[in-house]
């Protein structure tokens, strides 16, 4: 890791930048909670942000990412979502503006997940925050970073305190030396989940790219333009899934397009130039709006399992004007192997499922079609029309769906249904262990597998059945440790790792 400049620190695990944390006095102090954490003081931060000119931003977030029944499910710092999107893009620089502890946590987590990229940091103190000098520091940092030989875009992200202070990233130039500048506010008090923060950045990039395309010719994708109409996929997918979807689209005379969030700026143009956008993950509200503004139809759900694949191919065919007979022929070829794969890899046991990635209902469909006795799905994401088909299909089979699920909802479901396996968030894992119920972490162990088409049909059974079979080990451990280690952090559903991950505790 190298220092980009005097006031633009590149921080990595072990280089916390703590020495540059804001002094705990003056304006910054007044806007942070007494505990310095993410949960306390939220109303104050929101009020401060509104007074500082961020009312429109927060109102837009409230409309696009509605909360309720819980204000904010217990997920990690939302900025991790947009940070991860930026770090995965080629020729894209990311710069965080926030408290040192938040930047440390976010950077640590990014590197834990293998970012291997520099995270830029513009630190501040109460004087630079209050005087407006911080904005000038950001401007200088952007000017210095904006090398068109290295970057297509620079993403600058305001975390909680700069957002609450009204640091006006919208006043940054749109380009510097031909490098695009994208400024976004991702405060924990205005963005419910990290999943939705991904949409904030993806939507901002799509909007920028759409405006460029409207002005004239734009760069072609690295691997050229498809000669078939394409289907853009919305949502981070297992790398093999777009390939599998491509095989399913081929008999319809279609090709798979880019996955949004994209891995490179130039893919954004091709993503927008699709025949249809498939909202595989249903919470990409701003990205969907960009496709609709570009005149592209959008469909929901995904080709998961037998029934999901059948419905999805129908929807794609209809949106793209593919002849009914051609769609039916494709289904006749594609669906029997999926049904066979599901039958060959049955899942036996009662399951509850909780996650915060946006793919929870899709995994749930796959579990039910695999034979699992699924009782409950909790997702941190909101209900949108793009998952209505999945919701209807699941509720018709007796599965309770909880949108904006809290840790308490998930724990209550485990208590009520006493599952053989709980698929859980990190905070839910210790709850499951104490019951004792085998737990599998949704993000790392379930959503990081193929889910679509025939590859997805048999992908979950081995890991799930072996976890169910391990139940006696959990019971032995629970008996051995009975009454020990009632860590107050754990009893509140937090782990030390996630306290670090969230920087200041929004986890
Ligand atoms: S770690 Fe907490 S305080 Fe820091 S930016 Fe994230 S939500 Fe805000």
The pLDDT of residue 486 is 59
Judge if the beta carbon of residue 507 lies within 6 A of ligand 1.
Answer: no
Judge if the beta carbon of residue 83 lies within 6 A of ligand 1.
Answer: no
Give me 41's structure tokens.
């003081």
CB atoms within 10 A of CB 449: 17
The pLDDT of residue 73 is 62
Q: How far is the CA of 202 from the centre of ligand 1 (A)?
A: 20
Please tell me what DSSP assigns to residue 20.
G
Among residues 140, 129, 196, which one has the least CA distance to residue 4? 140
Q: Is the pLDDT of residue 2 over 50?
A: no
Judge if the beta carbon of residue 45 lies within 6 A of ligand 1.
Answer: no
Please tell me what DSSP assigns to residue 220.
P
Indicate which residue's Cα is closest to atom 4 of ligand 1: 102
First-residue to last-residue Cα distance in the chain = 26
The pLDDT of residue 25 is 27
Judge if the beta carbon of residue 28 lies within 6 A of ligand 1.
Answer: no
Between 232 and 481, residue with greater pLDDT? 232
* Ligand 1 atom closest to 186 (CA): 5
Please report which confidence band the pLDDT of residue 8 belongs to, taking 50, 70 and 90 as the band edges.
very low
- Looking at residues 349-370, what average pLDDT do you find? 96
Q: Is the pLDDT of residue 29 over 50?
A: no
Judge if the beta carbon of residue 76 lies within 6 A of ligand 1.
Answer: no
Q: In this predicted model, what pLDDT tens digit does every residue of 84-97 receive, in sequence order?
A: 999 999 999 999 99
Judge if the beta carbon of residue 506 lies within 6 A of ligand 1.
Answer: yes
The pLDDT of residue 200 is 98
* Ligand 1 atom closest to 37 (CA): 3
For the CA atoms of 210, 214, 220, 222, the dihedral, rounded to the nearest 10 degrees, stands at -20
345-479: what fold?
Rossmann fold (3.40.50)
Indicate which residue's Cα is closest to atom 7 of ligand 1: 188
Calculate helix-pair angle for 55-64, 194-215, nearest 10 degrees: 110
Judge if the beta carbon of residue 103 lies within 6 A of ligand 1.
Answer: no
Q: What is the full DSSP assignment across 247-271?
A: HHHGGGT-EEEEEES-SSTTHHHHH
- Whether residue 184 contacts residue 82, with contact meaning beta carbons closer than 8 Å, is answered with yes
pTM: 0.87
> Hey, which of 54, 75, 159 would you mutate to test ligand 1's pocket, going by the most ligand atoms within 8 Å of its Cβ?
159
Q: In this predicted model, what pLDDT tens digit does every residue of 216-229 receive, in sequence order?
A: 999 998 888 899 99
Instruction: Quote the longest CA-to-CA distance of the chain.
Output: 70
Q: How far is the CA of 161 from the centre of ligand 1 (A)?
A: 8
Q: How far is the CA of 353 from the centre of ligand 1 (A)?
A: 26
Q: In CATH terms, are 230-339 and 345-479 the same topology?
A: yes
Domain boundaries, the chain: 42-191, 230-339, 345-479
Q: Is the pLDDT of residue 482 over 80?
A: no
d(CA 193, CA 422): 21
Q: Mention the CATH class of domain 42-191.
A: alpha beta
The pLDDT of residue 487 is 52
- Helix then strand then coil, % of the chain, to nearest 5: 50, 15, 40
- Looking at residues 439-454, what average pLDDT do you find? 91
Please report which confidence band the pLDDT of residue 39 belongs to, taking 50, 70 and 90 as the band edges.
low
Q: How far is the CA of 16 from the centre of ligand 1 (A)?
A: 15
CATH superfamily of 230-339: Nitrogenase molybdenum iron protein domain (3.40.50.1980)
Between 506 and 404, residue with greater pLDDT? 404
Q: Which of 61-70, 335-344, 442-451 has the highest mean pLDDT?
A: 335-344
Calculate helix-pair angle for 324-344, 305-320, nearest 10 degrees: 160
Among residues 151, 275, 269, which one has the least CA distance to residue 220? 269
Indicate which residue's Cα is closest to atom 3 of ligand 1: 38
């Amino acid at each position: 890791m190298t220092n980009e400049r005097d006031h633009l620190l590149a921080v990595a695990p072990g280089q916390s930048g703590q020495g540059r944390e804001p002094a705990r006095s003056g304006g910054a102090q007044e806007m942070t909670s007494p505990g310095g954490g993410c949960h306390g003081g939220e109303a104050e931060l929101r009020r401060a942000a509104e007074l500082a000119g961020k009312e429109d931003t927060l109102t837009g977030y409230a409309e696009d990412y509605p909360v309720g029944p819980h204000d904010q499910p217990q997920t990690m710092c939302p900025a991790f979502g947009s940070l991860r999107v930026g770090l995965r893009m080629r020729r894209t620089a990311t710069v965080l503006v926030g408290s040192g502890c938040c930047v440390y946590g976010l950077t640590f987590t990014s590197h834990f997940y293998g970012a291997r990229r520099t995270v830029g940091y513009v630190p501040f103190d109460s004087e630079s925050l209050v005087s407006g000098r911080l904005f000038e520091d950001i401007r200088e940092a952007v000017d210095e970073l904006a090398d068109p030989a290295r970057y297509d875009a620079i993403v600058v992200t305001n975390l909680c305190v700069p957002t609450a202070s009204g640091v006006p990233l919208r006043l940054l130039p749109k380009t510097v030396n031909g490098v695009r500048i994208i400024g976004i506010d991702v405060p924990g008090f205005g963005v419910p989940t990290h999943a939705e923060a991904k949409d904030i950045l993806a939507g901002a990039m799509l909007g920028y790219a759409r405006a460029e395309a409207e002005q004239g010719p734009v760069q072609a994708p690295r691997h050229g333009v498809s000669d078939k109409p394409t289907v853009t996929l919305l949502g981070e997918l297992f790398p093999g899934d777009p390939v599998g979807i491509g095989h399913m689209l081929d008999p319809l005379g279609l090709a798979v397009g880019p996955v949004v969030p994209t891995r490179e700026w130039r893919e954004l143009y091709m993503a927008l130039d699709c025949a249809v956008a498939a909202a595989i993950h249903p919470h990409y509200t701003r990205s969907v709006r960009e496709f609709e503004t570009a005149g592209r139809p959008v469909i929901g759900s995904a080709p998961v399992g037998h029934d999901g694949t059948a419905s999805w191919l129908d929807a794609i065919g209809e949106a793209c004007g593919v002849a009914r007979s051609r769609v039916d022929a494709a289904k006749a070829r594609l669906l029997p192997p999926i049904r066979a794969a599901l039958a060959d890899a049955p899942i036996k046991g009662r399951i509850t499922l909780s996650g915060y990635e946006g793919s929870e209902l899709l995994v749930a469909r796959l579990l039910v079609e695999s034979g699992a006795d699924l009782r409950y799905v909790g997702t941190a994401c909101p209900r949108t029309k793009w998952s209505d088909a999945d919701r209807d299909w699941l509720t018709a089979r007796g599965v309770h769906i909880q949108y904006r699920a809290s840790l308490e909802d998930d724990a209550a479901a485990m208590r009520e249904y006493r599952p053989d396996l709980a698929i859980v968030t990190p905070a839910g894992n210790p709850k499951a262990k104490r019951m004792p119920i085998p737990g599998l972490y949704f993000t790392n162990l379930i959503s990081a597998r193929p889910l679509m088409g025939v590859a997805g049909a048999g992908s979950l059974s081995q890991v799930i059945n072996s976890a169910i079979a391990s139940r006696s080990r959990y019971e032995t451990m629970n008996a051995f440790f009975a009454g020990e280690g009632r860590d107050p952090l754990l009893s509140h559903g937090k782990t030390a790792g996630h306290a670090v991950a969230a920087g200041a505790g929004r986890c």
